[in-house]
Amino acid sequence: MAKYFNTSVTCDPEKHYMVDTTNKMKVFERLIDIGNYFTINRARQFGKSTSLNWIYNNLSDRYLVIPISFETTDKANWLSTKTFYDYFCENLATTECGCQAVNNYWAKAKSFEVIDFKCFSLKIVEFCESIGKNVVLTIDEVDKSLDNELFLNFLSMLRNLYLERERTKKYNSTFWSVILAGVYDIKSMKIKTRPEEDHKYNSPWNVAADYKLDMAFNPQEISTMLVDYENENHIGFDIKEISEEIFKYTSGYPVLVSGVCKEIDENLDRDWTKDGVLQAAKNIIAKKTNLSENMTNNLALYPKLKAFIRAVLMENLVVSMDVNNPTMDFANMFSIIKANKDGKVEIHNLIFQQILINYFISENTLNAFYDKVGAKAYLTKQGDLNMPLIINRFKDLVSKKHDKEDEFLEREGRFMFICFLKPIINGTGFYYSEPENDDGSRMDLVITYNHKEYVVELKIWHGTEYELSGRDQLSEYLETRNLEEGYLVTFSFLKEKVVQEKPEWIEHNGKRIYEAVI
């Protein structure tokens, strides 16, 4: 059977093209080898289930790996300790762990009269001592059970067995390692255990080991999947270049990496070029996927999260990553944001950035910035963007709006420019923002349209000296992108300040810069 790029179920190396994650998985292997309990907390479709699958496939020769999940909609399983115990027994009696002794033991154990978790724990001790091999228990989809008191009591029981094991040195008296996989951080999340209670911190899993592992793929890792693909299909493309281009748009988010490859392979006539990667990214942005729907639903559910993401993306808020801040921790847990090389918060990847921009634009009430003239009016005869015309038209619209609204906020200027730009390039172009100063005082908007790239620097007026430094910064940035022309848009809403009347081209450090003050 021919392999394909997978974006839905758990990846299988025999069926799917996969990134070689052996080095990443060695982190989990070491934790298991030393008998640690730990969690795999990552956002949706970030490789959690695939990691559990790797553990089962690669460590079953040394350990008895038992994979289970508490994903159930049957409320009867959660009525009492006895019903939960029966559900646990059924899980292990039917698990496909390759050991009939496990299935047989727990099928018989279901008849055991369990009245509390002490009785429950005795059966686990009996099982682990009788099986003759260190047992690793993996539990997937734990998020669906975290609001349940019985499940929390179950985790507490496993914790107590672990602590007793460490005290007595009887290492076969309970599970050698237990791995929980889910989005939420079980060690620190607020959990509501009874309807009449407020949410409170509960730590039934404070024995979990900490570890550092970036599960996003880097370009070198992405290339391992493309090498496998190329060896089978013999397309003849630059694997290194395309791996780096895929990383540019996805920042290595696993399902997005596979998604881009899937689009190219199945829907874009195997166009393994930079243009193909760009078109694949645009196709993903245009779709309503489980990932995008989950992200925007979380913004709708959590107003503080929504306000924070909007400030980072649309208002150019620059702030250091601090996971002790609940809102930042939430956004980081969902992988909406990440820390850049300087430790500052940024949207996780360009695809997310574009999805979120579209989300916020769809909610905006700035109808005056949707130009009814039409996109074609802003194109040259060659089909390129007429950026000076776009900037001039935008300046006129802002001036009219500001004359009517004295309380207009400077921070909305950038958002309005993006609102104005989007329908002009929609469906053909691509754009993303890059904060350039630690204080958020300037932002570069990079636009790709008709195989050409445009850089527009958006900044707030802070005086003539600052304006000159802005020209220096823009010209330097243009040099890094091998561009000869750029655009500098400065927002200045000072009532008594006389600013540049008309936009104009200037020469600066060997670059042509179209400068406009709004």
Q: What confidence tier does 192 reach under pLDDT thresholds 50, 70, 90?
A: very low
Whether residue 396 lies inside any domain: the answer is yes
Q: Do residues 51 and 176 both lie within one domain?
A: yes
Tell me which amino acid residue 431 is: Y
CA-based nearest residue to 258, from 15, 4, 6:
6
Helix (H/G/I), strand (E/B), else coil: 258: helix
Phi first, then psi, for residue 515 (nearest 5°) are -115, 130
HSE value, Cβ hemisphere, 13 Å, CA-based, for 400: 8
Q: What confidence tier does 199 reach under pLDDT thresholds 50, 70, 90?
A: very low
Indicate if the pLDDT at residue 200 is higher than 60: no
Contact 66, 102 (CB under 8 A): yes
Q: Do residues 457 and 486 both lie within one domain?
A: yes
Domain stops at, among 170, 201, 232? 201
Q: What is the 8-class DSSP label of residue 16?
A: B
In this prediction the pTM is: 0.89
Question: What confidence score (pLDDT) does residue 86 get?
Answer: 95
Q: Do residues 412 and 503 both lie within one domain?
A: yes
345/338 Cα distance (integer angstroms)? 6
3-state secondary structure 291-322: HHHHHHHHHHHCHHHHHHHHHHHHCCCCCECC
Q: Do residues 395 and 469 both lie within one domain?
A: yes
28/39 Cα distance (integer angstroms)? 10
Question: What confidence score (pLDDT) does residue 499 get?
Answer: 55
60/429 Cα distance (integer angstroms)? 49
Indicate if the pLDDT at residue 101 is higher than 90: yes
Whether residue 473 lies inside any domain: the answer is yes
For 36-90, write each residue's pLDDT tens digit. Answer: 999 998 888 899 999 999 999 999 999 999 999 988 768 888 889 999 999 999 9
Q: Do residues 137 and 279 both lie within one domain?
A: no
Q: Do residues 373 and 500 both lie within one domain?
A: yes
Residues linked to residue 514 through DSSP beta bridges, in sequence order: 487, 505
Q: Do residues 182 and 229 both lie within one domain?
A: no
Whether residue 5 lies inside any domain: the answer is no
Whether residue 138 lies inside any domain: the answer is yes
Domain housing 63: 22-201
Indicate if the pLDDT at residue 221 is higher than 80: yes
Number of domains in the chain: 3
Domain stops at, among 250, 270, 287? 287
Q: Do residues 194 and 224 both lie within one domain?
A: no
Whether residue 391 lies inside any domain: the answer is yes
Q: Do residues 425 and 506 both lie within one domain?
A: yes
Helix (H/G/I), strand (E/B), else coil: 449: strand
CATH number of the domain encompassing residue 130: 3.40.50
Q: Token pair of 252, please? A: 């290595």
Indicate if the pLDDT at residue 488 is higher than 50: yes
HSE value, Cβ hemisphere, 13 Å, CA-based, for 33: 8
Whether residue 278 lies inside any domain: the answer is yes
What average pLDDT does the segment 246-269 reach?
Answer: 97
Helix (H/G/I), strand (E/B), else coil: 360: helix
**Residues 6 or more apart whose Cβ sits within 8 Å of residue 249:** 256, 260, 277, 278, 281, 349, 350, 351
Q: Do residues 39 and 135 both lie within one domain?
A: yes
Q: Do residues 195 and 226 both lie within one domain?
A: no
Question: What confidence score (pLDDT) does residue 407 get?
Answer: 46
Domain stops at, among 242, 267, 287? 287
CA-based nearest residue to 258, from 126, 379, 249:
249
224/6 Cα distance (integer angstroms)? 15
**Residues 6 or more apart whose Cβ sits within 8 Å of residue 66:** 92, 95, 97, 102, 135, 136, 137, 138
Q: What confidence tier does 406 reach under pLDDT thresholds 50, 70, 90?
A: very low
CA-based nearest residue to 240, from 260, 219, 261:
219
Contact 279, 271 (CB under 8 A): yes
Q: Do residues 223 and 195 both lie within one domain?
A: no
Indicate if the pLDDT at residue 197 is higher than 80: no
Whether residue 322 lies inside any domain: the answer is no
Q: What confidence tier does 372 reach under pLDDT thresholds 50, 70, 90?
A: low
The full DSSP string for 379-394 is B-TTS-B-HHHHHHHH
Whether residue 297 lies inside any domain: the answer is no
Indicate if the pLDDT at residue 198 is higher than 50: no
Residue with tokens 């281009």, as numbered in its chain: 245
230/216 Cα distance (integer angstroms)? 22
